[in-house]
Amino acid sequence: MPLSLTVQQLIAPWLNINDSVGELVVTQLELDSRRVTPGTTFVAIKGHATDGRQFIDSALSQGANAVIAEACSEKPHGLVEFRCHRDNDAIAIIYIDDLSRLLSELAGRLYAHHNNQLIGVTGTNGKTTITQLIAQWLELVGQRAAVMGTTGNGFLNDLQPAENTTGNAVEVQSTIAALAELGAQYTALEISSHGLVQDRVKALAFAAGVFTNLSRDHLDYHGTMEEYAEAKFALFNQHQCQHAIINVDDAVGQNWTTRLDNAIAVSLLPESERAVCDTPTVWANQVTYSEQGIAITFDGHFGSGHLSVPLIGEFNASNVMLAMTTLLALGIDKQALINTAPQLEPVLGRMELFMAQGKAKVVVDYAHTPDALEKALLALRVHCEGQLWAIFGCGGDRDKGKRPMMAEIGERLADNVILSDDNPRSEDPAEIVQDMLAGMAHPQQAIVEHQRFSALQHALNHASEQDIILLAGKGHEDYQVLADKTVHYSDRESAQQLLGLLS
């Protein structure tokens, strides 16, 4: 990774500046004026929520050595203007057309000189689990691997909080480079549909891309399922992606294999039970579920084998198959993966099991979409000897259409349903619950308890030792977003406290 570039080297594909401005040295790019420090180069783009050009003066006061700004009709492409600030220094502001779309490439020119192989994982559910399984597995076979996504960025034993599943284009490039400097040979990234549509990973070269599944989510942003699907597909047809690992048990994934020349299909179904596919395929001949975990006998493009992993549920069997196939495509030894599979660990807040003698089991999961809730409940039903409880809510200021859908799923698949709050944000929690109750055939049988801690407490007080309680929606999160503030709250801590597991 170069320590620096001149302004001219940085912007060479789009603009030539043959004077002292072009010779200015750039060592760090920053989109947030509040994070600018002396010597930082501020990048001012017209974003989806705010216009960074409004904060140029703020960046200059923080010590920016130059500004690269998005051009407009008043400030055309190629314009270089000077603005004075403290001590009457004149700082150059360079305007470039369509800068927000070019940002990933711009940042990559400074940061992307490394040997960190990138694995992008997209889909509605499973991104966090698959990226972390990939990183765990690589570490187990002697490679250094990091992750970037919902639970944080970095090596698994030292994750740093991330504001978004996929950070902005500058953050993504600089973080990948920093991880490479720390020794990462691979980095597995969760790629959100927002991140793809907003070009946050546009200039990245992926050694492999993984598609998990597609179900209803983010329609408040994308509008239709078709637009949502095409946003995800962009990882494979609009980005550099050497191998496309596709879950063909999902109908969308099955269709995508006919549109991609580099696809490797993955299925939990044996050849006799799935659609004919001309694509190279890895499939499961047999999957067995027990209290100890999942056993998978597989066959296909990379040969046959048997895996045993200490995870719960059918969707985790799919996650494991996708992770394994990705690593095989990247040349990792199959027998090494088989030998180390029993050492894989459940991912934080993803079907995470908490147990105490004499009490019901509590499973904390991030499921916050209809599909994820359904899969979580179906997975737990296989393991449940008593009654199955479901505690969940729906987020405020988000897709209202999924609220009755999730309640219907809870009523259909669980024996007992408690509707609680998720992140209500600016909406009235009572109105969110009413939207959910509208999806239930017998809403009077649902228990409403807005406080998640109290909801779990009620369930544990009324559940038997053979019961399982699914506490869904927040997973690893340790906060709750209310109308006027964000407060500390953790489902994991609630489970540990109420089961007496905290010292």
- As annotated, the binding site for ATP includes 123-129
Q: Enumerate the known binding-site residues.
A: 31, 33, 123-129, 164-166, 192, 198, 200, 398, 422-425, 473, 477
Q: What distance in Å separates the CA atoms of residue 133 and residue 324, rounded to the nearest whole number?
A: 9
Residue 471 — φ and ψ, nearest 5°?
A: -105, 100
Write out 318-332 in H/E/C secondary structure. HHHHHHHHHHHHCCC
Concatenating the DSSP letter of every residue in 107-159 gives HHHHH--S--EEEEEESSS-HHHHHHHHHHHHHHTT--EEEEETTEEE-TTSP
Q: What distance in Å separates the CA atoms of residue 209 and residue 356, rounded to the nearest whole number?
A: 40
> Amino acid letter at 341?
A
> CA 279 → CA 222, 244, 305, distances in Å?
29, 11, 20
Q: Can you name the residues that pair with 472 across neighbouring β-strands?
A: 365
Residue 354 — φ and ψ, nearest 5°?
A: -125, 130
> Amino acid letter at 370?
P
Is 176:205 a contact under the CB 8 Å cutoff? no
- For residue 432 the two structure tokens come to 């969110």
Cα 156–chain centre separation: 15
Residue with tokens 């994982």: 121
Q: Enumerate the known binding-site residues for meso-2,6-diaminopimelate.
A: 398, 422-425, 473, 477
Residue with tokens 């603005």: 83
Is 213:250 a contact under the CB 8 Å cutoff? yes
Residues contacting 168, CB < 8 A, separation 6+ = 31, 103, 200
Residue 101 — φ and ψ, nearest 5°?
A: -75, -30
- For residue 210 the two structure tokens come to 């993984």
> CA 225 → CA 218, 234, 277, 369, distances in Å?
9, 14, 24, 14
Is 154:343 a contact under the CB 8 Å cutoff? no
Is 419:435 a contact under the CB 8 Å cutoff? no
